[in-house]
Amino acid sequence: MKFLRKQLDSVKHNFEKGGKWEKYFFAYEAFETFLFTPNTTADAKGAQIRDAIDLKRLMMTVIIAMLPCLIFGMWNVGYQHHLATGQTGTFMDALVIGLVKTVPIIIVSYAVGLGIEFVFATIRRHPVNEGYLVTGMLIPLVMPPDIPLWQVAVATAFAVIIGKEAFGGTGMNVVNIALTARAFLYFAYPSQISGEVWTFLGEGVKPVAGYSGATPLAIAAASTGNAATDLSSFGAGWADGMYSVWNMFIGVIPGCIGETSTLMCLIGAFILVFTGVGSWKIIVSVFAGAWAMGLLLNAIGTTPFAQLPAHYHLVMGGLAFGAVFMATDPVTAAQTETGKWIYGLLIGVFTVLIRVFNPAYPEGIMLAILLMNVFAPLIDYFVVSANKNRRLQRATV
Amino acid sequence: MSAATDVVEEVKEKKSEPLFSKKNRKLISNPLDIDNPITVQVLGICSALAVTTQMKPAFIMALSLTVVTASSNVAISLMRTTIPSRIRIIVQLAIVSLWVILVDQVLKAYVYDVSKQLSVFVGLIITNCIVMGRLEAFAMGNKPWPSFLDGLGNGFGYGMILMAIALVRELFGGGSLFGYKVFAEIGIPYQGNGLLLLPAGACILLGVIIWVQRSLNGYREAH
């Protein structure tokens, strides 16, 4: 630590006013404050409200909450690879395969995203924001393990420049940046991020007999008889009972790197709620909205997918991951307390609606969250004006 | 708007001015930059998003609009003192549709495939905000020659943005230019970007062009 401090101090004068790298002061400052607490805190006599938590700490908490998903996801990449190719491997074998596939995606995401952040911070002469720490980890978690790295780079660049910097940087974005990156790939290069791309097979490796890469959502959408039976009979011969509710809850199914496991998402949700970083109202209401819509469709729906028991919707696809890590994004979610309930409920409702009724989009959570991100300010506006009216009626003047 | 001041100056002017005086040159150059119909006045967006998946239809569209704007500007300018102001919009519409029908027939005769591709968008030039806007704002108060230049300038300004959007969309969306497979010819395997082929992609591109233009010339929306 002392060594680092010394090194930083020895080059500091170059970046200060009048120094030869004056232009890059904010790039330097970002490194410095990343390593050490800034020495510009308020003193003990100040009247400010002080809290031990700052933006960097907040972001690190979210990253810690994502770690269970990430580690489970890495192992699952390898596990699915073993399952699909008929090999057997230990826990470590699976984890190593997952590491090899996942770490490059994470590196590309951080390198491209932070690079753009540094460029914009230098041009606009403002400190580098910490906002990208979380986004940079979210992007790999919502990618399939086989995604080409250049696509990750292009999508990250698009999301950071168009989704964030065009609107003014961290905290000014209208829609969730990680989901912008995913939506970009979804519309720009659909063949690598939809269909049967969710299991890493490897170059020229033959899958086992009877193998199919179909996801639970695709099976339910294509079902002509009973969707629940189709799901439980999937994988016969090579992975019996793969899509049972329990398996989907635990997450040993193909999918994006981080989103398969509802259990790990719930552990992350617990960390977020316990530390006060994420809003439990949004998380609960997304699940409630999806479940309620599922029940409603059970009652009135006619297609096999609509008849699928409502609790399936809670464990299939990326609903849990979206609810816990995407919908709770403090920048793009509704800010008022009542608004959070409405916002979350509508995300859940739209997710199930898109899943069941739109054959072009098997998964609905991404588009549902992006849609409600856009409407969050409007929800807040109506909540605030309803509150005003209520108080005006009570006023006696 | 600038047109109002132009009217006043026009009345004061007594001496005949040279054909390409500084003011007349401005009529051509302003719409290309600080008074661009698409990026500054935000008119004609619908066709800018609809016909720009490929360079060729975008070029034909830009050409058609330039012809229509310039010629209806001249026609209206010639009639400007005789049009009763209460029915001026319908007179303008009649004249614009005349030119649009002419252009449409020419397209059908000589470039039938592009005409098919552009489909209703040629007909919709009649209601294109740029054409109507120039007639109302400029041709109704100016002599034929400046009106002609103004129509040309706005057509070029529109065409310039259309071509820029179409260039990016066709090159990076489909990997070709004017139908010529650029990447395939060079031998680079290129995977087309599907988002650029959607109207949403064009909308984002247009936003980026506006962003770049405004950070270059420092234009700010007046509040």
Q: What is the pLDDT along chain A (397 residues), one digit of tens a residue?
A: 677 778 777 777 777 777 777 777 777 777 776 666 666 665 666 666 656 566 777 888 888 999 999 999 999 998 888 888 888 888 888 888 889 889 999 999 999 999 998 888 888 877 777 778 889 999 999 999 888 999 999 999 999 999 888 888 888 889 999 999 999 999 998 888 877 777 777 777 777 777 777 888 888 888 887 888 888 888 777 777 778 888 888 888 888 888 889 999 999 999 999 988 888 999 999 999 999 999 999 888 888 888 888 888 888 888 999 999 999 988 899 999 999 999 999 999 999 999 888 877 878 899 999 999 999 999 999 999 999 999 999 887 6
Domain span at residue B100 reads: 20-159
In a domain? residue B40: yes
Chain B's closest residue to A148, CA to CA, is: B191
Chain A's closest residue to B199, CA to CA, is: A187
Q: Which two tokens stand for residue B193?
A: 């970007």
Q: Would an 8 Å CB–CB cutoff place B211 in contact with chain A?
A: yes
- Name the pLDDT band for B2 (thresholds 50, 70, 90): very low
Q: Which residue has the tokens 């939809």?
A: A194
By Cβ distance, the residue of B193, B207, B208 closest to A188 is B193
Q: What are the helix and strand counts (H, E) for chain B?
A: 12, 0
DSSP state of A190: G
CB contacts, 8 Å: B211 with chain A: 166
- Cα–Cα distance measured from residue B196 to residue B171, given in angstroms and rounded to the nearest whole number: 10
- Cα–Cα distance measured from residue A295 to residue A170, given in angstroms and rounded to the nearest whole number: 38
Q: Is the ipTM of this complex over 0.90?
A: no
Hey, are the CB atoms on A189 and B207 less than 8 Å from each other?
no
Distance between A174 CA and the closest CA of chain B, angstroms: 14
Interface mutation target, options B191, B197, B198, chain A, most CBs of A under 10 Å: B191
Q: Which two tokens stand for residue B46?
A: 């619908």
Q: Would an 8 Å CB–CB cutoff place B167 in contact with chain A?
A: no
In a domain? residue B220: no
Distance between B156 CA and the closest CA of chain A, angstroms: 28
- Cα–Cα distance measured from residue B199 to residue A210, given in angstroms and rounded to the nearest whole number: 41
Chain A's closest residue to B203, CA to CA, is: A162
DSSP collapsed to 3 states, A278-326? CCHHHHHHHHHHHHHHHHHHHHHCCCCCCCCCHHHHHHCCCHHHHHHHH
Helix (H) or strand (E) holding A250: helix A245-250
- Cα–Cα distance measured from residue A32 to residue A304, given in angstroms and rounded to the nearest whole number: 57
Distance between B88 CA and the closest CA of chain A, angstroms: 41
Distance between A179 CA and the closest CA of chain B, angstroms: 15
pLDDT greater than 50 at residue B61 = yes
Domain boundaries along the sequence of chain A: 58-192, 216-253+261-385
**Helix or strand or coil: residue A40?**
coil
Task: For A67-81, give the DSSP string.
Answer: HHHHHHHHHHHHHHH
| Nearest to B145, CA basis, from B83, B95, B78, B79 | B78
Hey, are the CB atoms on B194 and A166 less than 8 Å from each other?
no
Q: What is the pTM of this model?
A: 0.83
Hey, are the CB atoms on B193 and A189 less than 8 Å from each other?
yes
| Amino acid B3: pLDDT | 47
Interface mutation target, options A186, A189, A193, A370, chain B, most CBs of B under 10 Å: A189
Note whether B188 and B165 are within 8 A (CB). Answer: no
Q: Would an 8 Å CB–CB cutoff place B179 in contact with chain A?
A: no
Note whether A221 and A354 are within 8 A (CB). Answer: no
By Cβ distance, the residue of B194, B198, B200 closest to A189 is B194
Measured CA to CA in angstroms, residue A140 lies from A156, A351, A361, B24, B150 at distances of 10, 22, 21, 56, 52
Hey, are the CB atoms on B195 and A188 less than 8 Å from each other?
yes
CB contacts, 8 Å: A166 with chain B: 207-208, 211
| Amino acid A263: pLDDT | 92
**Helix or strand or coil: residue A203?**
coil
Report the number of distinct structural domains present in chain B: 1
Q: Would an 8 Å CB–CB cutoff place A188 in contact with chain B?
A: yes
Measured CA to CA in angstroms, residue B212 lies from B189, B201, B218 at distances of 30, 17, 10
Note whether A194 and A142 are within 8 A (CB). Answer: no
